[in-house]
Chain A
């Protein structure tokens, strides 16, 4: 159980275009989903926290108008990279915390397989 999927797994786009990445929890409901970015040979950095039905909370230094997050249901969150530029090329990973009734910090986060974005 506890599977998180991401789509697409890899995307190449031209500079200036927008790219949407989907994150789904397949067999559980996730009240909270998280979006991370990972540059080569670096660790994961949290970009934003997405709660179902409310606005996402962005980490310092992450532009909310550039990285649009929508958490429309308990199983789906989307990240849209708007007007992508080469410096946005990275590995984007989502994770989901199960709606268990316990605080999130008592639970593991389940990670999706990641989306590798390359902006030309």
Chain B
């Protein structure tokens, strides 16, 4: 059965720390893996990864996919309190259905 497993489920760090969030997957007919950030409302898109080993970067956030070991990581450097959120990874099941992991709740303390 296809699935994604995120770890850790919860993480509390101090402002300025660097964090690494993990998403391992078992997906037949894998096409892409997506990362979203969810604060109080709906998820906002961060990255879509389709190719192994190519890092995607946006400011202090970066992500990479390893298709051999079947995981992706999301890195956040120099964390700020505004980075506190639930981070979700997701994959496409079939052509259209986006399936989400359970999320990592990240809390950044000042």
Which residues from chain A contact B41 at a C-beta distance below 8 Å?
113-114
Q: How far is the CB of B95 from chain A (nearest CB, A)?
A: 6
Q: How far is the CB of A35 from chain B (nearest CB, A)?
A: 12
| Chain B residues with a Cβ closer than 8 Å to the other chain, count | 22
| Chain A residues with a Cβ closer than 8 Å to the other chain, count | 23
Known: A93-B42, A108-B34. A49 touches B48 (CB 8 A): no
Contact with A along B94-110 (1 / 0, CB 8 A): 01111111110000000
Which residues from chain B contact A103 at a C-beta distance below 8 Å?
95
Contacting pair B44 A105 (CB below 8 A): no
Contacting pair B48 A111 (CB below 8 A): no
- Interface positions, chain A 94-119, Cβ under 8 Å from B, are 95, 97, 103-106, 108-114
A34 within 8 A of B: yes
A-B contact pairs, 28 of them (CB 8 A): A32-B96, A34-B96, A43-B88, A43-B101, A43-B102, A43-B103, A44-B43, A44-B100, A46-B97, A46-B98, A49-B97, A97-B96, A103-B95, A104-B92, A104-B95, A105-B32, A105-B92, A105-B95, A106-B50, A108-B34, A108-B45, A109-B45, A110-B45, A111-B42, A111-B43, A111-B45, A112-B42, A114-B41
Chain B residues engaging chain A, CB cutoff 8 angstroms: 31-32, 34, 36, 41-45, 48, 50, 88, 92, 95-103
Chain A residues engaging chain B, CB cutoff 8 angstroms: 32, 34, 42-46, 49, 59, 93, 95, 97, 103-106, 108-114
